[in-house]
Amino acid sequence: MNKIFMTGFMGRDPEIITSGELQIAKFPLAVDSGFGDKKKVNWLNCVTFGKSAEIIEQYFFKGSPITIEGHVETGSYEKKDGTKVYTTDFIIDHWEFAMKDKNAQTKTRDGSERGDAYEEEESLPI
């Protein structure tokens, strides 16, 4: 079974790529592991497609908390100098807003605020 569930913080604003009519959002996700002196941050490359990518572009930015459900895909490509690069991507199938404070207002990219009514949506599939 290839299934992951993680909660973390976006490491930067999502990078949006358009392929035909399909939007693709890519971003690094910072996920903590361990505790105390053993605590470390793992940086995971996340990718989502379609409507999910459009919504993530509008409502998420560097530092936003997010919970994701998805699967892992590995791949490789060759650089111009002939070096082979191996990749690991976490493909998002579903996601949820991961709010610290239930009563917090969330700002959108355009600066407007969303209230609690929108935040009650459980998850949005791709």
Nearest partner of 57 among 94, 17, 30, 115, judged by Cα: 17
Euclidean distance between the first and the last CA atom of the chain, given in angstroms as a whole number: 20
Q: What are 11-49's pLDDT values in tens digits?
A: 999 999 998 999 999 999 999 999 999 999 999 999 999
Cβ–Cβ under 8 Å, residues 72 and 92:
no
pLDDT given for residue 101 in this prediction: 53
pTM, entire model: 0.74
> What is residue 59's three-state secondary structure?
helix
| Averaged pLDDT of the chain | 84
Structural domains of the chain in order of their starting residue, each with its CATH number: 4-108 (2.40.50.140)
Q: What are 47-105's pLDDT values in tens digits?
A: 999 999 999 999 999 999 999 999 999 999 999 999 999 999 999 999 999 866 545 55
Q: How many CA atoms lie within 13 A of 71 on its CB side?
A: 6
Rounded Cα distance, 121 and 74, in Å: 31
